[in-house]
Amino acid sequence: MSAWLPTAPCTPQDCSGHHGPAAGLPAAVGRLLAGTALVLAGALLTPLVAPLGAAVRDRLTRRWAHTVLRAFGLRVRVVGRPEPRRGTGVLVVANHISWLDIPLVAAVLPGRMLAKSEIRRWPVLGALAARGGTLFVERERLRALPGTVRTLSAALTAGSRVVVFPEGCTWCGRDQGRFTPAVFQAALDAGAAVRPVRITYRAADGRFSGAPSFVGDDTMPASLWRVVAAGGLTAEITVLPLIPAGTHTDRRALARAARAALGLPEGAVAQSAVTEVAATRTAVTGSATTRTAFTGTAVAQTAVASDSANRPASSVHQCVSSIPASASSARTPS
């Protein structure tokens, strides 16, 4: 794993527990087959939908994404009132927990996703993602950062709704990582508003469920089975108030405001920054693992004291944890 990539303390062993009912084997298998078939069907139909008008595309995308989530066994709960497209670009930013985040956001606020460049090279799906308007970021190349910011800014200026996960990696959902400021520079350059949304996965009793978490060294087959085998899951998305363009003139302030809108206290942001400094120092000495094992929060979000490390986040990717996660936090977003 590159030292430049962000990491989270979450692991499947510590963070993916589900305290609730379980689906029977036939139901779980049925969900797996139905959900997978719908995902593939959506990917194959993307080129046909792309030429349609924005309103039609949005309506079809929302229906497809909602159906995918239901097929995998999740109920969808929307808190807040999403607004229709206004003809101007909007940057949608969300905390990142799972691969399920993409259809969940698309079920409410469909838009152009920012994804890691590796997806472009995937057979069939890569080409379909590109045709569907996906924006790609080269996570390993810091020199590509200015170009990515320009691409995002151009999409926003053209009136697109762009969806990003600024943490740059998946967390289990009990807490969030730091928001990297680079994507917010694109919003500033384009004069675009920012729409924060909070994602939470709940068990049947309303408590947090870790079953959908896709973290650490988790595998897609294991994650898929954990989701379809869990009973009573609800995917909750909270549409938070718009941060109008011009409210903040500094990308770091805008990133902090968007992250604070998710409900995490500013003190947690400060702690994250302290941890990043510690990670920077340990990276120099080559002993990051032993010197940061006690922190219990994100490390190596940046490896140098330079704004060039504030890369835009990719759409879906895990952080392979380098430290144990006794718990990423005791706090559950509400």
Of the listed ranges 85-89, 116-120, 288-292, 316-320, the one predicted with least confidence: 288-292
Of 124-133, 186-195, 201-210, which gets the smallest average pLDDT?
124-133
Work out the pLDDT band at 291, boundaries 50, 70, 90: very low
* pLDDT tens, position by position, 99-108: 899 899 999 9
Which strands, in side-by-side order, build the sheet including 90-94? 75-79, 234-239, 193-202, 90-94, 161-164, 112-116, 135-137
Whether 190 has a pLDDT exceeding 60, the answer reads yes
Nearest alpha-carbon partner for 101 in 267, 235, 260, 239 = 235
Give residue 135's pLDDT band: very low, low, confident or very high (50, 70, 90). Answer: confident
Lowest pLDDT segment from 21-25, 232-236, 326-330: 326-330
Helix (H) or strand (E) holding 94: strand 90-94
Look up the pTM and report it. 0.77
**pLDDT confidence of residue 48:** 83
Model confidence at 245: pLDDT above 80: yes
Strand segments (E) across 134-280: 135-137, 161-164, 193-202, 234-239
Residue 32 has pLDDT above 70, yes or no: yes
